[in-house]
Structure 1
């Protein structure tokens, strides 16, 4: 795996490119250390079938050097070892080190963005206890079918702020 910043395009799902460092990939999934505004922003898993372009552009090469100069590059953990065989396998392996997840279903008629904790998994789906933007946990579980999941995030700045909030509040 080359240790350079890459740009990923998913034309059917998102008009914007995603930048990151590829950490691992399987036949179905790709794991990146997500980079946003020259900052590491957790890990992101994408469905490979949605990727229409994955490149190392001249801008990516230049920005890799900027990240090295800023001391950001050395913080990328290229040795992560999550199981990327399937969404289920990834989630199970990530639950060992992460409590909070963001799972997106971008292809649905009403795209889904679910943030919360994993309550259970079966061969077809994941059940999540989720919370609202104002930090209220909802009682009803959200069941997400693996076939509908397009991306997943762990360890992001967004998740980390909510996690600290819940730790302070005892939620």
Structure 2
């Protein structure tokens, strides 16, 4: 029996899947998780180390080349481990994500999360860019970058909307920056 499935089948069954995406660079073409919603962009409840429910990823649906269900024994292990370590199945996020376009995804996520990450895997396959949305236009995104030392850059980095292949939020990694990084230039005085 083939483990290959479609995004819609994965969404309706809640199966743990590995999503294969077209070659965007070494090591970035696979994503493990649970498909939560589909549209022009696909919302995935991400799994870290095949055991931790770890935030959300929105990926361009057109980049998906194959979806493979985990073996039954792997599925049971992931369910047991993720349940014991947090929530299972991964819940829908506490926000309504507009999956019709990249700017819809970014706007939706930025309304509810101060820190998000964008990925431009076609040009920077090994990097993610955590930060806060400073400006979003029809042509691009100005992201105030939060560096690995938890310091905010003075000026935004600009990304063309067509460069963005993935948007991440709610992960342990990003939450660490949000909680322990320098006070955001966007923060209210009491933060």
Partner residue of 1:48 out of 51, 56, 61: 61
TM-score, normalised to structure 1, is: 0.86
Tell me, yes or no, if structure 1 residue 170 matches structure 2 residue 180.
Answer: no
Q: In structure 1, the residue corresponding to 2:98 is in which secondary structure?
A: coil
Relative distance call for 1:42 and 1:65 in structure 2 (3 A) is: closer
**Aligned twin of 2:134:** 119
**Aligned twin of 1:61:** 75
Specify which structure has the higher proportion of strand: 1
Structure 1 position 75, deviation (Å): 5.6
Tell me, yes or no, if structure 1 residue 74 matches structure 2 residue 99.
Answer: no
TM-score, normalised to structure 2, is: 0.77
Aligned residues: 167
Gaps in structure 1 of 5+ consecutive residues? none
Question: Structure 2: how far apart are the matches of 1:69 and 1:47?
Answer: 28
**Aligned twin of 1:152:** 167
**Aligned twin of 2:155:** 140
Gaps in structure 2 of 5+ consecutive residues? 1-11, 185-191
Q: In structure 2, the residue corresponding to 1:82 is in which secondary structure?
A: coil
Q: In structure 2, the residue corresponding to 1:52 is in which secondary structure?
A: strand
CA RMSD of aligned residues (A): 2.2
Structure 1 position 68, deviation (Å): 6.5
Question: Structure 1: how far apart are the matches of 2:74 and 2:63?
Answer: 21
Q: In structure 1, the residue corresponding to 2:111 is in which secondary structure?
A: coil
Aligned partners of 2:43 and 2:56 also within 8 Å:
yes
Relative distance call for 1:89 and 1:60 in structure 2 (3 A) is: farther
TM-superposition CA deviations, 1:104-163 (whole Å, max 9, x none): 11111x445321100111112111111211122111211111111111100111110111
